Structure 1
Amino acid sequence: MSNLLTVEKANFFIGQLQVLRDISLNIAKNETIMLIGRNGAGKTSTLKTIIGLYMLTSGRIIFDGVDVTKIPAHKRASKLGIAYSPEDSKVFPDLTVEENIKMGIWLAGNKKNDDRDIMETIYNIFPEIKPLMKRKGIYCSGGEKKMVSVARALALRPKLMLLDEPMEGLAPVVVQRFKKALNDIENMGISLLITESNVNTALSMNRKTLVIERGEIIYEGEPSEILKREDIYRIVRGV
C-alpha cells in the first residue's frame, strides 16, 4: 500500500519552545489514522504543520509524491487535496450554512455544474444539514457547526482530510452519527487523520493509532494494544 502522506522528522518551535519533536508518520491511500493525546500534547500543531498553517523548523512533508514542506496552506488545500476541519469548527457566523460549505467548493475551483454532485454527497453523509442550508452559522448548535466544518472540508474533494477533535464535546448520540459519517467518508476512498483526546472514543474507532505526548510520537500500532500498555494508557488517560 503506497503512502499518500509522509512526515519526516518534523520539528516545530514557537519562539524558544519546541512544540513538535521529530514527528514522523505515514498515511497510506484509503487509510484512517487516529492521533490520540492529552490537551497540549501536540495534536493540533501536527495537523497545522501538515496543512501549512505552521511552517516546520526542520523536517519534511511529502504528499502524494510532492514535497509540500514550503508550499503555503491555501495551495495544499486548493491544488493538492488536503482539507482541514479545525477543533473550533471556524464556521463563519454571518454566512449561511450553504455559503459556508460552498466556500470549500469555490476554494477548490470546482465548476458550478459540479456543485450539485458535491452537495448531494454531503447530504447523503450529513442529512441533518439539508434543512439548515439557509440558517446563518451563528445560529447553529455545536454539533451542527462540527458537521458544517467537516462538510466544508469534504467540499474540496480532498484526498486527505485532517479532522481536529470532530467528536469533542458532542452528546453520545451525535458521536455515533459522526462515526457513521466518518465511515461513509472512508468508503469514498478519502484518507483521514483524526485527532482525539478522549481515549475511549478513539479506541472505539478501531483504526491504526498514534499516541503523542509532549510533541513526540510515543506509540504507533493497533488500538487494542494500548489497553495492554499501562504506561501508554495512563498517559492518554491523563493519570
Structure 2
Amino acid sequence: MALLEVDDLTVTYGAIRGVSGISLTVEEGEVVALIGANGAGKTTTLRAISRLVPSRGSIRFAGRDLTRLRPHEVTALGVVHVPEGRGIFPRLTVMENLELATWTRRRDREGIRRDLRRVFDLFPRLEERRDQVANTLSGGEQQMLALGRALMTRGRLMLLDEPSMGLAPVLVKEIFSVIQEISASGTTILLVEQNAHFALKIARRGYVLETGSIVLSGPAGAVAANPRVKAAYLGA
C-alpha cells in the first residue's frame, strides 16, 4: 500500500474543471515530482489532497480516507502543506512562526526542542534571525522559514508547492539541496515545481500534468528524457 493514493480525482470550479480524473501514488520515502505549465492543475491537486478544496474521487493517506476530513484533521494525521507563496505569518517573528507549527504536539517539549535544533542546523540564517519579523526576511529566507515550519509539524508527507518560485538561481540550488536532506531524513515529498530540471533531478518518479489530466508518468529519469517533456519543460 502506498503512503498516498489518489484515484480518479476531479476538482471543478463552477463549469471549469481544475483537474479531471487523475490518479497518482506516492510511496513511503519517495520524492515524487508533479510538473506542468501554469494552469495545468498542479496546485489544485495539492489543495484537494489537503482538503482545502472539495473534490470527487478517492484520496487515501496511510490507508485512511481523507475525503471527508477538514484541513486541520488532515494536518494532524501527518500531511503538511507548504503552499505556493509560502504562507508564513508575515507579522510574527521567525520563532513565533516555528512555534505555531507545533500546536498539535505542544506537550512534547523535548521533541520540539530537538526539532527546532534540526531546523536551525538546516537553516542557520533562521537562527540568526529568530527574533526578526517574517515579512522583513528575503524571499529565500521566507522559503526557508516555510520549510522549517513544515518540519516542526513532524509530518510524514510534505506537499511542496513551487518552492523555487521567485528565488535567485543560487538560492534555488540551496533550497533543493535542503529538500534532498529532508527526504533523506525520512520525510516523503510530493513536489509541485515549474523548474522541471531540478524537480526531476531529485525525484524518484514524476507525473506530467496538462490541462487537468496526467499525460505521462514514470521514473524521473525516463520522464526527463522524454522528447515531449524536454521540449516543453527542459528547454531542449
TM-score by length of structure 1 reads 0.93
Partner AA of 2:20 in structure 1: R
1:68 to 49, 66, 75: 66
Residue matched to 2:34: 35
Question: Aligned pair in 2 of structure 1 residues 206, 193: CA closer, same or farther (>3 Å)?
Answer: closer
Partner AA of 2:223 in structure 1: I
How many corresponding residue pairs?
236
The answer to whether the 8 Å contact 1:38/1:238 transfers is no
**2: CA distance between counterparts of 1:32 and 1:90?**
22
> Per the alignment, in what secondary structure is the counterpart of residue 158 of structure 1?
coil
Partner AA of 2:2 in structure 1: N
2:75 to 52, 74, 77: 77
Cα deviation per residue 1:181-228 (whole Å; 9 max; x = unaligned)? 112111221100011112222233253111111011111112332344
Residue matched to 2:17: 18
Q: How does 1:115-126 map to 2 (within 5 A)?
A: 115-126=112-123
User: 1:103 Cα shift?
Assistant: 1.2
**2: CA distance between counterparts of 1:101 and 1:192?**
20
Cα deviation per residue 1:74-123 (whole Å; 9 max; x = unaligned)? 11102x00001011011111100111111111244453333211101111
The answer to whether the 8 Å contact 2:193/2:199 transfers is yes
- Unpaired segments ≥5 residues, structure 1: none
Cα deviation per residue 1:150-204 (whole Å; 9 max; x = unaligned)? 1111111000000001112222221221122112111221100011112222233
TM-score by length of structure 2 reads 0.94
The answer to whether the 8 Å contact 1:19/1:215 transfers is yes
Residue matched to 2:128: 131
**2: CA distance between counterparts of 1:237 and 1:181?**
22
> Per the alignment, in what secondary structure is the counterpart of residue 226 of structure 1?
helix
Question: Aligned pair in 2 of structure 1 residues 35, 227: CA closer, same or farther (>3 Å)?
Answer: closer
> Per the alignment, in what secondary structure is the counterpart of residue 71 of structure 1?
coil
Q: How does 1:1-239 map to 2 (within 5 A)?
A: 2-56=1-55, 58-78=56-76, 80-236=77-233
**2: CA distance between counterparts of 1:81 and 1:143?**
25
- Aligned-residue CA RMSD (Å): 1.8
> Per the alignment, in what secondary structure is the counterpart of residue 221 of structure 1?
strand
Question: Aligned pair in 2 of structure 1 residues 159, 25: CA closer, same or farther (>3 Å)?
Answer: same
**2: CA distance between counterparts of 1:4 and 1:226?**
22
**2: CA distance between counterparts of 1:90 and 1:237?**
28
